[in-house]
Structure formats: structure tokens, C-alpha cells
């Protein structure tokens, strides 16, 4: 009899743990397990066009003058040792990013006797701003001469990052996204090393870094792209899987090839993040069809394949959107109510109400305060809400079909059953 009762007790405990655990296990969200076609994302990347890319590339590679600090200026080189040129180049990037409406900062750092700066634009997440995704590129270039257009290496990545900022600035994203341009890459990843160190010192929760370095050269009939991840940070391998999935889901004319290769990773800025344990990967043109103008004054726009570059940029931006969690952008409302004990009717401060939106990609959570009152802010839509508490433990209550309306509050209260009450009949069964 005791054995039966004990078995039932453990069954009851296991059930309670399962119910509570199932709510906890989905939050906070990790990386998307699958990439589902999203027409909103397709609409965003459709705005990446070859004329737009060509125009921006002309500006960053000195083929047309640009306006920087209110004057007309030709960016003939972006070499980090060229003090005035790199200063104007980073200021140009700053002003381009600021024009999107995002908040932009210089990240200043020192390397030896050099005082250099990176450029960082940030879009805070609406659901979980502490979870951060980066799209990055180095804006500096080679050779160290007065004529260094650096079109493929790496105006291509830099323009893609700035275009991503422009296209996503007004889009509601669940997580924080940063658009980062590094200097000092050609001198040994100086800018990214300083930046990643500061992120780590702040304890930032960076979940993914997309680093674009040379994404526009393709001279043959095979539009191969190379994606490099690190075995020491397994999530980086997941990131290249997502990038590769995006290419297929959105029908882009690219052939992704995925590698896990530490020896290659150390040659660009993803390395600075990987060595801090942050998931980062490199997206780069086919190693077997590599620009012959690498680090020369001939690395010019005319040598690039703009169709290949456009699809590469679309893939990078779509990947960033899927990581960042795009909301429909149709307004926000609230669900509010009380969480109370089913039997005693007393309020349960500390109880949790959560929902998953829209396909387990991310979780909204609210904790009940005094009087057991909770308030959950959500994008307009229809939700399944789960209320639960585990100190002391209660069975979770699931309510489906809760509608959230724009600028309105939907009242939805929860009554939770203490799990012990559910257990007693099991003891009675054991006594029989
Ligand atoms: Zn490079």
C-alpha cells in the first residue's frame, strides 16, 4: 500500500514538475529551430536592389563624392592608418546610420599609440531587450596607400550592414539588434577585439553575430557562399544552419557551403566574439572563386557581381530578421487581470502569466504583483496564455483564444489549483 501511495506521489510530483517545467523550458527563447517563410521578411529583402547597392558602394569606395559633416568628400581610402580618411569614413557611416533614426554611438578604443573608433547603431528589442543579435562588418581596408577603394573587402559588407539598418529601423523586433562597423580589422581585428571585450565586461547576452567580410565577388557560374562556424561555440554552427535555411526558404540564387574551421575563423572579426564565447560566424564569398584584387587598389566596384551581392545581402538581412523576431507591426495592446488560488480565493503575487508568439520563437512573460495583478503587453493578435506558480506549486492553467486589441486592455484572470489537492484522491485510491 505504501508502495502504491508512494508511486502515486511520485507520479503526482512528476506531473506537477512537467506542467511547471513545460512553461519554464520554452523561456527564454533560443535560436529558431526552423525558418518558416514570412511574407513580411520577403517584403523587406525585396527592397535590396542592385541599383541601391551600386549607389551606396560608389559612395563608400570613392567613385562619387558623399556628404560628410556637411561638406562634399571623396572616400579614396578607408585604411585605419590614414587618420583623416578613416575619421571621415567612420563619420560618414555614423551619419548614414543616424539618418535611419536609430541611436548611434562611436565605440572608442586604443591600440598602441592609436586612438580609433568603431560605429554602433542599436535597435532595442520590444520583448526582451537583453537578448542581442549583431550584424557586423569591418569598414577599414587595404592597401595602406592613398588609393584603396576596398570594394569587395569590405565596402560590400559595410554597405550591407548600413542597408540592414535602414530597412529594419522602423520594424518592430522582439530582440535587440545592433549594426556594427569595425576599424582596425586589417591590423589584427583591433576594433572588434576591443568591442567584444567591452560587451563581455558588461555581461551582455549576445546570442548571435553575423559577420560579413567580402560578399560581392563572383566570377563563375556557381554562386557559392561560404559560412564558417566554430566547434568551440556550437551555437555558431546553428547560426550557419539558419543562414543556409534562409537561402532556401526565400529562394535566393546562392549555394551555401557550411564549414566548421577554426583556422579560417581567426582571419576576421567573428574571431573576437568566438574567443569570448559568443556565437558568431563569417559569411564570405567562395574560397575557390576569391577576388584576385584582394588588398590592392584594383579592388573596385566594377569587378563585383551585383546580382550575387544582392542575394547575399538579402540572405544576411533575412537571417537577422528571423533571429531578431519580427512582429507584424499592427499595434500593441495589453492583457491584465488577477491570479488567485482556486480554493482560498487569495491572490497569488509572484505567479507568472506567459505566452508564446507566434510559433515558440519567443516568450512574453509577466509576473503578478501585489493583489495578484499582472499586465502583459503584446502585439495585436490572438493568444494562448498560461498562468502558473511554483512557490508553492500550482497546476498551470491554460486559456486559449485571448484577443489583444490595439491600444486596449483585455481583462483575463486566472485561478490556479494547488497541486496537492489533486494528489489526495490518488492516496485514497492507494488505500483501496
Ligand atoms: Zn576583410
Q: Are residues 88 and 119 in the same domain?
A: yes
* Predicted local distance difference test score (pLDDT) of residue 26: 21
Last residue of a domain, one of 302, 324, 346: 324
- Which segments within 318-429 are labelled E, that is strand? 332-341, 352-357, 362-367, 373-379, 381-388, 397-404, 409-411, 414-416
* Predicted local distance difference test score (pLDDT) of residue 308: 98
Q: How many helices (H) and strands (E) would you count in the chain?
A: 11, 18
> How large is the average pLDDT for residues 27-49?
82
Q: Are residues 237 and 105 in the same domain?
A: yes
* Predicted local distance difference test score (pLDDT) of residue 73: 98
* Predicted local distance difference test score (pLDDT) of residue 357: 65
C-alpha of residue 141 to centroid of ligand 1, in Å = 7
> How large is the average pLDDT for residues 151-165?
98
- Domain count for the chain, please give it: 2
Residue 359 vs residue 420, higher pLDDT: 420
Question: What is the tens place of the pLDDT at every residue in 206-217?
Answer: 999 999 999 999
CB neighbours of residue 245 within 10 Å: 18
pLDDT band of 33, cuts 50, 70, 90: confident
Percent of all residues in the chain with a pLDDT value above 70, rounded to a whole number: 88
C-alpha of residue 93 to centroid of ligand 1, in Å = 17
Radius of gyration (C-alpha) of the chain in whole angstroms:
26
* Predicted local distance difference test score (pLDDT) of residue 382: 82
pLDDT band of 50, cuts 50, 70, 90: very high
**In the chain, what is the greatest distance between 2 CA atoms, to the nearest angstrom?**
92
In which element (H, E) is residue 431 found? Answer: helix 419-431
Average confidence score pLDDT of the chain: 88
Q: Are residues 338 and 310 in the same domain?
A: no
C-alpha of residue 145 to centroid of ligand 1, in Å = 16
By DSSP bridging, strand 71-73 and strand 66-68 are antiparallel
Question: What is the tens place of the pLDDT at every residue in 292-342?
Answer: 999 999 999 999 999 999 999 999 999 999 999 888 766 778 999 999 999
Beta bridge partners of 121: 104, 179
C-alpha of residue 317 to centroid of ligand 1, in Å = 19
C-alpha of residue 214 to centroid of ligand 1, in Å = 6
Measured distance CA(373)–CA(385) in Å, rounded? 15
> How large is the average pLDDT for residues 133-154?
96
Last residue of a domain, one of 307, 324, 341: 324
Percent of all residues in the chain with a pLDDT value above 90, rounded to a whole number: 73
C-alpha of residue 189 to centroid of ligand 1, in Å = 10
C-alpha of residue 154 to centroid of ligand 1, in Å = 5
Question: What is the tens place of the pLDDT at every residue in 80-100?
Answer: 999 999 999 999 999 999 999
C-alpha of residue 14 to centroid of ligand 1, in Å = 54
Q: Are residues 300 and 341 in the same domain?
A: no
Nearest Cα neighbor of 180 from 225, 122, 227, 247 is 122
* Predicted local distance difference test score (pLDDT) of residue 13: 37
C-alpha of residue 392 to centroid of ligand 1, in Å = 56
Q: Is residue 416 within 8 Å of 339, Cβ to Cβ?
A: yes
C-alpha of residue 424 to centroid of ligand 1, in Å = 67
* Domain assignment of residue 141, yes or no: yes
Query: Could you tell me the pTM of the whole model?
Result: 0.78
Measured distance CA(186)–CA(144) in Å, rounded? 10
Most confident of 322-336, 355-369, 413-427: 322-336
* Predicted local distance difference test score (pLDDT) of residue 430: 44
Q: Are residues 176 and 290 in the same domain?
A: yes
* Domain assignment of residue 34, yes or no: no
Question: What is the tens place of the pLDDT at every residue in 188-201?
Answer: 999 999 999 999 99
* Domain assignment of residue 282, yes or no: yes
21 Cβ contact list (under 8 Å, min separation 6): none
* Domain assignment of residue 432, yes or no: no
Residue 328 vs residue 205, higher pLDDT: 205
C-alpha of residue 395 to centroid of ligand 1, in Å = 55
The backbone torsions φ and ψ at residue 229, rounded to the nearest 5 degrees and listed phi first, read -125, 170
C-alpha of residue 267 to centroid of ligand 1, in Å = 8
C-alpha of residue 252 to centroid of ligand 1, in Å = 24
Cell of 211: 559577420
Beta bridge partners of 405: none
C-alpha of residue 190 to centroid of ligand 1, in Å = 13
C-alpha of residue 156 to centroid of ligand 1, in Å = 10
The backbone torsions φ and ψ at residue 197, rounded to the nearest 5 degrees and listed phi first, read -60, -40
C-alpha of residue 268 to centroid of ligand 1, in Å = 7
C-alpha of residue 234 to centroid of ligand 1, in Å = 24
Residue 264 half-sphere exposure, CB side, CA atoms within 13 Å?
18
* Predicted local distance difference test score (pLDDT) of residue 405: 83
Amino acid at each position: 500500500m505504501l508502495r502504491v501511495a508512494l508511486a502515486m506521489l511520485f507520479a503526482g510530483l512528476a506531473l506537477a514538475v512537467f506542467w511547471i517545467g513545460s512553461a519554464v523550458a520554452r523561456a527564454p527563447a533560443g535560436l529558431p529551430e526552423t525558418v518558416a517563410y514570412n511574407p513580411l521578411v520577403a517584403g523587406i529583402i525585396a527592397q535590396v536592389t542592385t541599383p541601391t547597392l551600386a549607389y551606396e558602394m560608389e559612395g563608400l569606395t570613392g567613385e562619387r563624392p558623399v556628404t560628410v559633416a556637411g561638406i562634399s568628400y571623396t572616400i579614396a581610402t578607408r585604411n585605419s592608418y590614414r587618420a583623416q580618411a578613416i575619421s571621415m569614413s567612420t563619420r560618414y557611416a555614423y551619419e548614414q546610420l543616424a539618418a535611419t533614426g536609430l541611436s548611434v554611438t562611436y565605440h572608442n578604443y586604443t591600440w598602441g599609440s592609436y586612438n580609433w573608433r568603431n560605429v554602433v547603431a542599436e535597435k532595442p528589442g520590444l520583448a526582451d531587450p537583453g537578448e542581442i543579435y549583431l550584424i557586423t562588418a569591418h569598414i577599414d581596408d587595404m592597401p595602406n596607400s592613398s588609393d584603396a577603394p576596398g570594394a569587395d573587402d569590405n565596402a560590400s559588407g559595410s554597405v550591407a550592414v548600413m542597408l540592414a539598418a535602414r530597412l529594419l529601423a522602423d520594424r518592430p523586433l522582439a530582440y535587440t539588434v545592433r549594426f556594427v562597423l569595425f576599424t582596425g580589422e586589417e591590423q589584427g581585428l583591433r576594433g572588434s577585439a576591443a568591442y567584444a571585450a567591452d560587451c563581455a565586461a558588461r555581461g551582455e547576452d549576445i546570442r548571435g553575430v553575423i559577420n560579413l567580410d567580402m560578399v560581392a565577388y563572383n566570377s563563375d557560374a556557381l554562386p557559392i557562399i561560404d559560412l564558417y562556424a566554430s566547434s568551440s561555440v556550437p551555437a555558431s554552427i546553428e547560426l550557419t544552419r539558419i543562414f543556409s535555411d534562409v537561402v532556401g526558404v526565400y529562394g535566393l540564387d546562392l549555394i551555401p557551403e557550411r564549414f566548421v574551421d577554426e583556422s579560417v575563423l581567426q582571419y576576421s572579426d567573428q574571431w573576437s566574439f568566438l574567443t569570448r564565447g559568443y556565437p558568431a560566424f563569417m559569411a564570405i564569398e567562395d574560397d575557390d572563386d576569391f577576388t584576385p584584387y584582394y588588398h590592392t587598389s584594383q579592388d573596385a566596384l566594377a569587378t563585383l557581381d551585383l546580382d550575387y551581392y544582392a542575394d547575399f545581402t538579402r540572405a544576411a538581412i533575412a537571417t537577422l530578421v528571423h533571429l531578431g523576431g519580427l512582429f507584424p507591426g499592427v499595434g500593441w495592446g495589453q492583457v491584465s487581470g488577477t491570479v488567485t488560488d482556486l480554493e482560498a480565493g487569495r491572490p497569488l503575487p509572484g505567479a507568472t502569466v506567459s505566452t508564446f508568439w507566434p510559433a515558440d520563437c519567443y516568450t512574453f512573460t509577466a509576473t503578478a504583483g501585489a493583489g495578484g495583478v499582472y499586465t502583459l503587453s503584446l502585439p495585436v493578435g490572438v493568444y494562448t496564455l498560461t498562468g502558473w506558480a511554483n512557490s508553492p506549486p500550482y497546476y498551470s492553467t491554460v486559456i486559449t483564444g485571448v484577443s489583444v486589441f490595439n491600444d486596449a486592455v483585455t481583462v483575463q484572470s486566472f485561478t490556479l489549483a494547488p497541486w496537492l489537492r489533486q494528489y489526495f484522491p490518488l492516496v485514497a485510491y492507494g488505500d483501496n
